[in-house]
């Protein structure tokens, strides 16, 4: 079974989660924790063990359904879900017809026969009426985790490895849901959400550079929405949508607006120093100095540092990479 952290995701705080949560626990007080750029939700899962209420938000469709599958408290039938997964694992891909997923992604991001089965499962889930919402979410997220494990990529879908033969290796595996008792799950623009957010502690881990997550994970977004758009380019991307201002030159203005709107006791912001990167796509859109200045205008701000390895696409090369955590006690 897949646990929450068993996926590949750029900017994941899995290796930093203990350091981040320890600092927040030591320096912040309150009962309600909000993770508003939640990503993999690793920080959210840790926070759920320490605070009485969790608010979680991310603008990706795939992340939102992952939170619902793992965390919400709706009833579901495990035996029914396992039976469905086992049925598909026994099915021979050679008996399946080509479909939207295999025609576009087969032989590129996935083995052709694997892609036929992935597309067939997704189409069946779209039409199937025997599952409730929680069960369907679990089955879809199990599909996401199963394909992420075998995708012919470095961990995102900006490109794929050009191989003559991609091995057939897809196995449909179930996730291990971990319900959280008191949780609110959103898929909203953070700057709009911040105007009505009611939390004691707000944790912020924004995108750092021009890499749009909706484009990096377009295959997963496409699989979740299942609207079958026309795809273009080498990476077979759909038309652009769900683009973040935090990946554009407007990022400092968006961040200041977000911070100004927040009504909370404490703000914790993760950031790293890739702003000196040789790769233009890796350079930070907001500098550490801007982060500190904006937060300091909101209250007493302390900066903490931690050495950390960073995602390297090949063009980024510098030493002394650090992860930063700013903690602001709001006036």
Burial class (CB in 10 A: 0-12, 13-18, 19+), 23: middle
* Residue listed under structure tokens 């079958």: 228
Q: What value does the mean pLDDT of the chain take?
A: 92
Average pLDDT (78-102) is 97
pLDDT digits (tens, 9 = 90+) for 242-282: 999 999 999 999 999 999 999 999 999 998 865 454 544 44
Q: Which positions ≥6 away from 288 have C-beta within 8 Å?
A: 271, 273, 275, 324
Report helix angle 78-90 to 133-150, nearest 10.
40
pLDDT of residue 307: 80
Give the Cα-Cα-Cα angle 41, 46, 47 (nearest 5 degrees). Answer: 95
Amino acid 210: pLDDT: 81
69: helix, strand or coil: helix
pLDDT, average across residues 143-161: 96
**Phi, psi (rounded to 5 degrees) for 145:** -65, -35
Above pLDDT 70, what percent of the chain? 92
What burial class does residue 309 get, using C-beta atoms within 10 Å of its C-beta: 0-12 exposed, 13-18 middle, 19+ buried? Answer: exposed
- Reported as type and span, the H/E element at residue 19 is helix 17-27
State both tokens at 298: 């909101």
pLDDT of residue 11: 84
Would you say residue 49 has pLDDT above 90? Answer: yes
pLDDT of residue 272: 81
Question: CA–CA separation, 224 vs 186, rounded Å?
Answer: 16
- Model pLDDT for residues 155-194, shown as the tens digit of each residue: 999 999 999 999 999 999 999 999 999 999 999 999 999 9
């Amino acid at each position: 079974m897949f646990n929450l952290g068993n996926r590949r995701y750029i900017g994941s705080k899995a290796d930093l989660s203990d350091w981040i949560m320890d600092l927040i626990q030591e320096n912040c007080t309150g009962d309600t924790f909000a993770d508003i750029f939640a990503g993999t939700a690793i920080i959210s899962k840790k926070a759920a063990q320490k605070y009485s209420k969790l608010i979680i938000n991310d603008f990706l469709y795939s992340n939102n359904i992952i939170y619902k599958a793992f965390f919400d408290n709706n009833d579901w039938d495990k035996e029914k879900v396992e039976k469905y997964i086992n049925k598909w694992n026994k099915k021979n891909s050679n008996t399946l017809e080509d479909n939207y997923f295999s025609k576009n992604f087969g032989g590129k991001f996935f083995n052709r026969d694997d892609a036929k089965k992935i597309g067939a499962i997704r189409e069946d889930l779209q039409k199937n009426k025997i599952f409730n919402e929680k069960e369907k979410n679990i089955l879809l997220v199990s599909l996401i985790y199963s394909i992420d494990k075998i995708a012919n990529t470095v961990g995102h879908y900006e490109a794929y490895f050009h191989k003559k033969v991609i091995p057939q290796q897809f196995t449909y595996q179930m996730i291990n849901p971990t319900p959280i008792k008191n949780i609110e799950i959103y898929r909203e623009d953070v700057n709009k959400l911040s105007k009505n957010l009611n939390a004691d502690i707000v944790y912020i881990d924004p995108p750092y550079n021009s890499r749009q997550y909706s484009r990096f994970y377009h295959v997963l977004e496409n699989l979740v929405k299942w609207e079958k758009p026309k795809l273009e380019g080498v990476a077979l991307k759909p038309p652009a949508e769900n683009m973040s201002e935090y990946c554009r030159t407007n990022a400092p203005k968006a961040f200041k607006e977000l911070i100004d709107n927040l009504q909370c006791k404490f703000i914790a912001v993760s950031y790293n120093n890739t702003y000196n990167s040789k790769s233009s796509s890796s350079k930070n859109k907001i500098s550490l100095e801007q982060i500190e200045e904006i937060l300091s205008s909101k209250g007493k701000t302390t900066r903490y540092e931690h050495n950390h390895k960073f995602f390297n696409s090949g063009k980024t090369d510098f030493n002394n990479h650090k992860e930063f955590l700013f903690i602001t006690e709001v006036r």
